[in-house]
């Protein structure tokens, strides 16, 4: 059977060749007959046959038919180049639909001009806002003619309009490869790299572009924002300054400048810049950041004020509604807070709960739990013991409740709210105000003086109050032990005939007394008893767990939106496996500014970014309208590219510029561990060799965590040892540093793993540390005969507890702050109140995590910590007497 192709060819032969053959036959016959023309006879009747006349007539008809068909074929066979030219002319004349029609008529078989046609049609589609069709045409165009950089440029721009920044970046990269001197392609590539959060690559393209156009606000924004994301906070500031000077009417630049100051912990500068932005334009993101800044400063009423103003501008903004309600909650204004949570949860009824609504749900339950205990002794505020574990797990993970009834009232049964008084907070006594004043001074000694940590006056007050509580509770415990043991030298101060006036004079004189080790020494005298009528009613501290449980409720109540919870409670009630803490030092997006000062201890590197997750680190597009893409050959005003979102962390700004310190230290610790032969493990926990003779030179020369990864050549983690003091010679599992490759960067993270074995080992260490400290303090004969040695033992006991606490990191968050409070409180309980603030860029908790032996931690901390000590403030009233209930504690925390 003939194929369709052969049948078509046969018809063509019949149509075109047969008439020519007939004509040729007639001409031949006419020549044979003499001069007669085809279709005639020389002499009438001389024809040999009548067939000649019939053939001549047929040929004449065929010639007419051929002429007619040729004219039709000429009309149908238009020159494709002319049609392409016509399409281009219509495109240039902005007759886009006619241009598309012209392009559509082109024959796809003409591959030599097909790419040009697709490109032109794509431009026409783009100008008609038909960007999906345009992208499809440009994609085909680059497939037909992949060596055309302008086609890749157009494709990248269409992907950008469609918010497909990954493919846009790939297209711009191809354009740059084909035309390395194409500055526009490099600039667009930098913009797309920014959008996919590959900030180091973005800077490589955007900084050269900025040198050519130094006052371009979009470029200034993206360069500064990239530096910000890469933890180069200080380096980003000049770009914001240049931006607002060149474009003072650009509210977005003022906004970003304010955010940078806030991240750096410069609260007032942040507010000043944000207010300047507000004079240019009313922007909801400015209100977000003004409220956040006041919140991080511990100024809850100031945060509420900016929430109110922002909600007047946009009444249903869920973020401001949530922050306002949570600020009233923290202030103890529970009725207003509850109404705020209810209003937020009622928004969009019937739809899936949003993130802020989920937060409001959990906070509402926590609020009800607090209200039920407002008039009970503060010791009854025990969230870890009382609250349902399923609720705590869901709350901790910020899980959107799949079924509200499942979680509702797990935190507080209805009957506990019966008779609860919602009235505002009580007036505070003079004794309470004296305690608050002392606490404000003491709390500053728990403040990290480093970029990214904004002083939070409420949290610092909480730290001071908790430290005084520890001082009094622990001191009472030691006095009770001394009474029990009938130590002859422990007597009440007044029995020695020394009255309160003499005690205070002695305390003043002791400030200048120097010990044999060059440090200020406490007085050589018996244990000092606390003043106050309720001393005997103080609950004793019999273990390290009870010691820290004195502090944890203070932290929980002071910040109800981000309270610390004991991991051990999850272990026992919920988790059968392990519960690990993970701190990303450096990920492909960015790294936390908090750990800047110790990065090289875990080499400094300019190669990429992390943001430690705050409790609800929202990453909304808070830069507003970002830079326009410069108009390409068909883009008159390309799309906006959103810039960096504002960063939220907890009230202590636990994410911030100080991350670089952690990174430097972490790199060096990891490097030394590898060089010293510590075990490297793969991601499955299997050890593999990293012999020094093979890898040593590469590891020593490695720069930053990326260099270390490349030196080892694979994903790995290094587990630091933690040497036991309770069982000398035993090595426990310490901090783990993990390096693993992701598509855009090498991730660098730390882990503290809290499985049952780790808890048991560190429980032994902390138990032994607590007992060692108590024994040292009660060794009164040594105190009387060898004051220097006595002080040394007490200091070692205090820091030994905090060292193993930091190694364990037992809380879901806030372990660092609670560890610092323990140092302050125990020092005062031992009658050697340290008056030294933490030196700049020193992060005490990370000193503990990096130290493989207690002595290393002690040597790093003790010299500055105990460089100035004085007699403890025994004259103060007992905290639990002047702040007897949870309501009173809330009043103290919010007192202004």
Res. 824: pLDDT tops 90: yes
Same domain membership, residue 890 and residue 787: yes
Identify the band that residue 525 occupies on the pLDDT scale cut at 50, 70 and 90.
very low
Q: How far is CA 550 from CA 258, 313, 387, 534, 811, in A?
A: 38, 44, 18, 17, 14
Quick one: pLDDT at residue 203? Answer: 92
- The more confident residue out of 211 and 606 is 211
- The more confident residue out of 109 and 112 is 112
Same domain membership, residue 473 and residue 435: yes
Domain assignment present for residue 719? The answer is yes
Domain assignment present for residue 201? The answer is no
Identify the band that residue 555 occupies on the pLDDT scale cut at 50, 70 and 90.
very high
Most confident segment among 40-54, 206-220, 559-573, 857-871: 857-871
What is the rounded distance in angstroms from the CA atom of residue 327 to the CA atom of residue 345?
A: 17
Nearest of 131, 866, 156 to residue 514 by alpha carbon: 866
pLDDT tens digit string along 674-715?
888 888 888 888 888 888 888 889 999 888 888 888 889 899
Among 50, 76, 102, identify where a domain stops.
76
Among 43, 60, 76, identify where a domain stops.
76
Same domain membership, residue 868 and residue 723: no
Quick one: pLDDT at residue 116? Answer: 81
Same domain membership, residue 764 and residue 747: no
Quick one: pLDDT at residue 144? Answer: 87
Same domain membership, residue 583 and residue 491: no
Res. 785: pLDDT tops 50: yes
Domain assignment present for residue 64? The answer is yes
Share of the chain above pLDDT 90, in %: 44
Tokens of 457: 């006056």
Identify the band that residue 658 occupies on the pLDDT scale cut at 50, 70 and 90.
low
CA 724 to chain centre: 35
Among 76, 105, 129, identify where a domain stops.
76
Burial class (CB in 10 A: 0-12, 13-18, 19+), 561: buried
What is the rounded distance in angstroms from the CA atom of residue 744 to the CA atom of residue 879?
A: 53
Beta bridge partners of 377: 885
Quick one: pLDDT at residue 865? Answer: 97
Lowest mean pLDDT among 83-87, 226-230, 882-886: 83-87
Same domain membership, residue 695 and residue 767: no
Residue in the block written with tokens 């499809």: 136
Res. 829: pLDDT tops 60: yes
Same domain membership, residue 605 and residue 729: yes
Which whole number is the average pLDDT over 331-356?
88
- The more confident residue out of 633 and 655 is 655
Res. 648: pLDDT tops 90: no
Same domain membership, residue 794 and residue 743: no
Most confident segment among 94-98, 638-642, 716-720: 716-720
Nearest of 794, 861, 863 to residue 827 by alpha carbon: 794
Res. 68: pLDDT tops 80: no
Domain assignment present for residue 519? The answer is yes
Identify the band that residue 497 occupies on the pLDDT scale cut at 50, 70 and 90.
very low
Domain assignment present for residue 451? The answer is yes
8 A C-beta contact, residue 370 and residue 334:
yes
8 A C-beta contact, residue 240 and residue 224:
yes
Domain assignment present for residue 412? The answer is no
Which whole number is the average pLDDT over 414-429?
69
- The more confident residue out of 79 and 822 is 822
Range of the domain at 25: 4-76
Look up the pTM and report it.
0.74
Burial class (CB in 10 A: 0-12, 13-18, 19+), 257: buried
Domain assignment present for residue 641? The answer is no
Res. 607: pLDDT tops 70: no
Domain assignment present for residue 312? The answer is no
Quick one: pLDDT at residue 62? Answer: 41
Same domain membership, residue 587 and residue 713: yes
Quick one: pLDDT at residue 619? Answer: 30
Same domain membership, residue 703 and residue 729: yes
Res. 131: pLDDT tops 90: yes
Same domain membership, residue 552 and residue 687: no
Number of domains observed in the structure of the chain = 3
Nearest of 89, 88, 148, 87 to residue 115 by alpha carbon: 148
DSSP 129-153: T-HHHHHHHHHHHHHH-TT-HHHHH
Quick one: pLDDT at residue 538? Answer: 65
The SS3 assignment for 674 reads: helix
Same domain membership, residue 805 and residue 741: no
Beta bridge partners of 741: 746
- The more confident residue out of 752 and 56 is 752
């Amino acid at each position: 059977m003939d194929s369709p192709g052969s049948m078509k060819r046969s018809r063509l032969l019949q149509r075109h060749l047969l008439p020519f053959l007939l004509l040729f036959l007639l001409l031949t016959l006419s020549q044979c007959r003499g001069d007669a023309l085809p279709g005639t006879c020389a002499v009438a009747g001389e024809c040999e046959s009548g067939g000649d006349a019939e053939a001549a007539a047929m040929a004449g008809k065929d010639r007419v038919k051929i002429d007619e068909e040729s004219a039709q074929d000429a009309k149908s066979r238009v020159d494709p180049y002319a049609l392409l030219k016509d399409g281009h002319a219509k495109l240039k004349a902005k007759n886009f639909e006619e241009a598309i029609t012209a392009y559509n008529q082109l024959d796809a078989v003409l591959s030599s001009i097909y790419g040009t046609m697709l490109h032109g049609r794509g431009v026409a589609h783009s100008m008609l806002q038909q960007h999906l069709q345009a992208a499809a045409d440009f994609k085909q165009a680059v497939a037909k003619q992949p060596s055309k950089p302008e086609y890749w440029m157009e494709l990248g721009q269409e992907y950008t309009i469609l918010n497909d920044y990954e493919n846009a970046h790939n297209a711009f990269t191809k354009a740059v490869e084909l035309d390395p001197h194409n500055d526009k392609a490099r600039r667009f590539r930098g913009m797309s790299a920014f959008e996919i959060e590959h900030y180091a690559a973005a800077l490589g393209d955007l900084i050269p572009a900025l040198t050519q156009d130094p006052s371009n606000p979009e470029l200034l924004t993206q360069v500064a924002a990239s530096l910000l994301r890469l933890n180069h906070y200080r380096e980003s500031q000049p770009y914001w300054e240049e931006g607002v000077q060149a474009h003072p009417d650009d509210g977005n630049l003022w906004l970003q400048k304010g955010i940078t100051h806030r991240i750096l912990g410069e609260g007032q500068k942040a507010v000043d810049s944000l207010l300047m932005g507000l004079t240019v334009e009313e922007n909801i993101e400015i209100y977000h950041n003004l409220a956040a800044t006041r919140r991080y400063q511990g100024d809850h009423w100031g945060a509420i004020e900016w929430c109110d103003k922002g909600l007047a501008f946009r009444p249903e903004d869920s973020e401001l509604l949530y922050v306002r309600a949570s600020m009233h909650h923290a202030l103890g204004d529970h009725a207003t807070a509850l109404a705020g949570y209810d209003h937020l949860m009622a928004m969009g009824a019937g739809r899936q709960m949003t993130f802020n609504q989920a937060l409001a749900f959990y906070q509402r339950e926590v609020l009800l739990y607090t209200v039920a205990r407002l008039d009970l002794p503060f010791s009854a505020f025990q969230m870890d013991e009382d609250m349902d574990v399923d609720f705590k797990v869901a709350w901790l993970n910020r899980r959107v409740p799949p079924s509200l009834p499942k979680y509702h009232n797990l935190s507080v049964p209805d009957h506990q709210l019966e008779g609860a008084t919602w009235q505002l907070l009580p007036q505070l006594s003079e004794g309470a105000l004296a305690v608050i004043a002392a606490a404000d001074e003491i709390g500053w000694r728990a403040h990290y003086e480093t970029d990214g940590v904004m002083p939070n006056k409420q949290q610092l007050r909480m730290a001071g109050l908790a430290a005084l509580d520890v001082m009094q509770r622990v001191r009472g415990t030691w006095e009770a032990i001394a009474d029990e043991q009938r130590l002859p030298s422990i007597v009440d101060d007044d029995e020695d005939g020394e009255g309160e006036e003499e005690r205070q004079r002695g305390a003043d004189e002791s400030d200048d007394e120097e010990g044999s080790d060059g440090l200020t020494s406490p007085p050589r005298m018996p244990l000092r008893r606390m003043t106050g009528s309720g001393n005997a009613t103080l609950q004793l501290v019999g273990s390290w767990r009870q010691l820290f449980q004195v502090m944890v409720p203070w932290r929980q109540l002071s910040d109800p939106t981000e309270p610390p919870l004991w991991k051990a409670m999850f272990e026992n009630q919920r988790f059968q496996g392990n519960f690990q803490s993970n701190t990303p030092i450096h990920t492909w997006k960015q790294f936390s500014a908090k750990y800047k000062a110790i990065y090289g201890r875990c080499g400094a590197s300019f190669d990429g970014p992390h943001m430690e997750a705050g409790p609800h680190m929202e990453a909304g597009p808070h830069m507003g309208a970002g830079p326009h893409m410069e108009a390409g050959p068909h883009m008159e005003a390309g799309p906006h590219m959103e810039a960096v979102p504002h960063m939220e962390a907890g009230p202590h700004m636990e994410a911030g510029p100080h991350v670089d310190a952690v990174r430097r230290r972490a790199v060096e610790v990891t490097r030394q561990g590898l060089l010293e032969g510590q075990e490297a493990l793969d991601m499955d926990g299997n050890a593999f060799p990293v012999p020094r003779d093979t890898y040593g030179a590469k590891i020593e020369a490695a720069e930053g965590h990326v260099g270390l990864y490349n030196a080892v050549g694979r994903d790995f983690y290094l587990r630091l040892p933690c040497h036991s003091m309770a069982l000398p010679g035993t090595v426990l599992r310490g901090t783990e540093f993990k390096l693993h490759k992701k598509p855009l960067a090498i991730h660098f993270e730390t882990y503290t793993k809290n499985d049952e074995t780790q808890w048991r080992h560190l429980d032994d260490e902390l138990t032994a540390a607590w007992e060692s400290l108590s024994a040292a303090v009660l060794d009164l004969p040594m105190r009387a005969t060898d004051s220097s040695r006595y002080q040394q033992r007490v200091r070692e006991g205090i820091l030994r507890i905090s060292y193993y606490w930091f190694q364990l990191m037992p809380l879901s968050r806030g372990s660092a702050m609670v560890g610092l409070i323990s140092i302050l409180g125990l020092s005062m309980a031992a009658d050697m109140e340290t008056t030294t603030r933490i030196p700049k860029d020193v992060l005490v908790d990370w000193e503990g995590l990096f130290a493989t032996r207690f002595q290393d931690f002690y040597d790093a901390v003790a010299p500055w910590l105990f460089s100035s000590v004085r007699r403890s403030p025994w004259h103060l009233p007992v905290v639990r007497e002047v702040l007897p209930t949870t309501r009173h504690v809330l009043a103290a925390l919010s007192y202004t």
